Structure 1
């Protein structure tokens, strides 16, 4: 009975997984259909004849190589900057004792309750005053420090023994060397979590680039996808093809960091 019960749980999990994956599978398979099959009724899951014409048409209609490069620059730069700043802030709040540390932490956490729409106008005003409007830096810099990242890293580093850091100081290690040689290697799991989250946030971001960027040559991939939506019709064939391509970078990043992701989420929840 125990074996049957276990098999039933696995079967239920497989069915639930297929239900969640079905929309993604539908998009991927539909991107290989021609227009006749795409609009056929009743709809068919698998294309009768696989074709790459949708992908070729999408690249011919728009300069997607430039859009992909812009998105890659924004996403990678923002993620690296976020990891660097958040890890230093989290380390400071976890391991340094100074007046006002608790107030700073509470201030960071309280910003999580503020919707982005509330602070969007002030951020845009600052970006404009700094001359970063209509530039990729205007997208990269604002999310460089996130309260979520600082809090997660701080919680993770609370379990690192203070004696380990004191021993390094007694051996003559500088604070920068402690951060680089001890803190960063220990924090790999939580940094992997933030890498995946930041990559997804920046790669899929549409609203902020739409506000900051006005030059079509500096569009990110999400802004480029919106070009397929016209006033009276939607170019579904090209839109589906490019949507599939936009999934690939996130999937690759997730596959690279998936083990660290699970470890980071589990261990972070155990720290306090």
Structure 2
């Protein structure tokens, strides 16, 4: 098989996989413009036979969509910002400072990535309950403020920053804080962009932890609020699809902002042999 034919076959396979992956999302978006009677009908069609905006216009009447959306957006932005900063700081220290126990600390951080998240739910819940932080936004922010994956990613990337650049800055009288904020961070924009996409997505779609910790409806996040469409005798599919369609917008916006640096940032974090 020639190289040209192999390329065509590979592209065809990727096209089929891409269409298969995207089709459910397209179906959901188009269904958001259908009335519930058409969504439940046995005779289904991809395009709405009767276009309607009622599912979007009535969202706020069915539940406090704006409040839930604002809560999710605020928490996701705060968590993403904190995770990026702590990951950059820890990654820089582990990559460029020489001290006893550095490799052991880095190994411990890697070990935390191997622990299933479900194992930590009960002890984490007990801790925050004892601290009186239940039904408090801090309970959603503190556990996600540091990321083992983020530290690993930034440490791998910052290892490539030439030591000569940092030494030249020190000779010129730059402080360590100045070097970190004005030299290291700008040179790490690619991995920071990749981490921003990952972390925002994880924080935005988190369901179980907010469901356990937040009791007040006005403090709840959107991922939990969407479950209110599941009624006792039926599900408002039109409203659910409309709310889910809107909830995807922030993730798409973040990806579009950082997409140019995403691939380069992910590649820079690869383990070097």
For normalisation by structure 1, the TM-score amounts to 0.95
Written as runs of structure 1 = structure 2, the 5 A alignment for 1:20-99 is: 20-99=21-100
How many Å apart are 1:159 and its aligned residue? 1.0
1:225 paired residue number: 226
Measured in 2, the distance between the counterparts of 1:207 and 1:5 equals 44
How many Å apart are 1:7 and its aligned residue? 4.5
How many Å apart are 1:128 and its aligned residue? 2.6
Written as runs of structure 1 = structure 2, the 5 A alignment for 1:1-272 is: 6-269=7-270, 271=272
Measured in 2, the distance between the counterparts of 1:150 and 1:269 equals 13
- Report the count of equivalent residues: 272
Q: Deviations over 1:117-149 (max 9, x none)?
A: 222222223323333210112101111101100
Measured in 2, the distance between the counterparts of 1:62 and 1:6 equals 50
Measured in 2, the distance between the counterparts of 1:220 and 1:86 equals 25
**Does the Cα contact within 8 Å between 1:91 and 1:154 map onto a contact in 2?**
yes
**Does the Cα contact within 8 Å between 1:210 and 1:223 map onto a contact in 2?**
yes
Measured in 2, the distance between the counterparts of 1:240 and 1:140 equals 28
Runs of at least 5 residues in structure 2 that lack an aligned partner in the other structure: none
How many Å apart are 1:12 and its aligned residue? 3.5
How many Å apart are 1:4 and its aligned residue? 6.0
- Larger displacement relative to structure 2 (261-270 or 236-245): 261-270
SS in structure 2 opposite 1:145? Answer: coil
Two-structure CA RMSD over aligned residues (Å): 1.6
For normalisation by structure 2, the TM-score amounts to 0.94
Measured in 2, the distance between the counterparts of 1:181 and 1:20 equals 41
Distance 1:42 1:95, change over 3 A: same
Runs of at least 5 residues in structure 1 that lack an aligned partner in the other structure: none
Measured in 2, the distance between the counterparts of 1:123 and 1:4 equals 54
